[in-house]
Amino acid sequence: MKKEMKIGLLGLGVVATGVVERLAAQQKQIEEETGVKLTIAKALVLDPVEKAAFANTHGFELTTKLEDITENAEIDIVIELIGRISPAKEYILTALKNGKHVVTANKDLIAQHGQEIIEVAKAQNVGFYYEASVGGGIPLLRPLATSYAADSITSVKGIVNGTTNYMLTKMMEDQLDYQTALEQAQNLGFAESDPTNDVDGIDAAYKMIILGAFAFGAELKVTDLAIQGIRNVQAADVKVAQSLGYEVKLIGEVKQVGEGVTASVSPVLVAKNHPLAMIKNEYNGVFIESQGIGQSLLYGPGAGALPTATSVLADLVEIADRTQGKQDFAPFNRKVANAPLVNRENVKENYFISVSLVTSAIETEEFVKGLVEQGYRVVYKAIDTKNNRLSLIVNHLTPTDYQTLLTKLATQGMIQGQLGVMGDFNEN
């Protein structure tokens, strides 16, 4: 039984710095609880001079050579925190093949190449953990892997991108338009200079792929998800949503439909009394529905150096525990059933749509009446004659029905807002 395990860091940015600081603060407690002393031995960096003072303070060496970590017999655990797909994937695979346990927060990599890496870790009987890849400091993956092991999850939906949640919160509470909210988020460091992955829903999609694997054993690809970002969320639509008792949130969801699952990311109207509506600013939350537990919400900071670092430390504790107990390093995710992707044409959803009208109010009234006669379930209609704007909520549409409806509405003017609606709208 090993009493000390040495760690090699790949990268020494904001999160990695947080890992060093949190481990220094928690080292004694972890050793008391696991019987293993965890120490950082080396860190791979681009510029050793820049990080020298920090490394000296915390007593570890810096290197610019990967092999100083991955081929170092004294190093037991490698923590990858450089991000992106390449060279992170190559670095992780090299570490695993050299018998090192690996911890990462790299959601992009896990979502796109996770299964390949998991198979290598399994073959080497080493640990590969990535709690910090979803939800920052919120314990999400481990509870899904353990607490729900005896339950059957039916839906996982949530706010998993802090940038867009901050922006939408400001659009709701401060009546900001999209561009102003984005600039404010960038000024505060919540959004990158290139916010594409966040505002177009890609970041959230990666995280839902990982959550789908833990909740359902689903092997999803980005192309399997219906993805819509928040670029086209209009201030006028936010105002209507508020008047109807809704918040606007970017919601990722993987849910069971029959014997399979469907997955999506899109801006959605969420009733103000729903737990997800109460999650503001840069915070994240995941709402889980299951047959046994029922409904539960996991909530907390979705990013940040110290919260994310704390999740990394939780993975280190898992490795230390298993090493002391001489346990095999089974895959982090216990779900082995591959829940198939269902045909989205079998999935009906509810939608909010707004149109900048070129027709008169009377003509629009007749048009909407015609939609109802054609079988569309129009449950809310408002014609703003001052701004020539039509707002509709239409329930129970398949993707084909929805596209057909959009084509019809385009004859009345320019379509402005396209948002989902969580649950059935009830005017009363």
Cite the active site residues.
207
Q: b/e for 10-30, b at 16 or more Cβ within 10 A?
A: bbbeebbbbbbebbeebeeeb
DSSP 227-278: E--STT--HHHHHHHHHTTEEEEEEEEEEEETTEEEEEEEEEEEETTSGGGG
Candidates 200, 227, 212, 374; CA nearest to 286 is 212
Task: Give which of 286, 9, 277 is closest to 137, Cα–Cα.
Answer: 286
Which uninterrupted H or E stretch holds 231?
A: none
Q: Which value, to the nearest 10 degrees, does the dihedral of the CA atoms of residues 141, 306, 221, 165 take?
A: 100
- How far apart CA 352 and CA 394 sit, in angstroms, is 7
Estimate the crossing angle of helix 162-173 against helix 178-187, to 10 degrees: 130
Q: The tokens 């490795």 sit on which residue?
A: 319
DSSP string, 298-343: EEEES--HHHHHHHHHHHHHHHHHHHHTT-----S------PPBPP
Rounded Cα–Cα distance for residues 321 and 9 (Å): 20
Amino acid at the residue 71:
E
Between strands 283-290 and 377-384, the pairing is unpaired
Cis peptide before 87 (omega within 30 of 0): yes
Contact (Cβ atoms closer than 8 angstroms) between residue 302 and residue 135 = yes
Strand, helix or coil at 381? strand
Q: How far apart are CA 120 and CA 373, in angstroms?
A: 58
Kindly calculate the radius of gyration of the chain based on its CA atoms and give it in whole angstroms: 24
Enter the tokens of residue 387. Answer: 């701004």
Alpha-carbon span 192 to 121, nearest angstrom: 33
Tokens standing for residue 43? 């860190």
> What is the rounded CA–CA span in Å between residue 87 and residue 121?
18
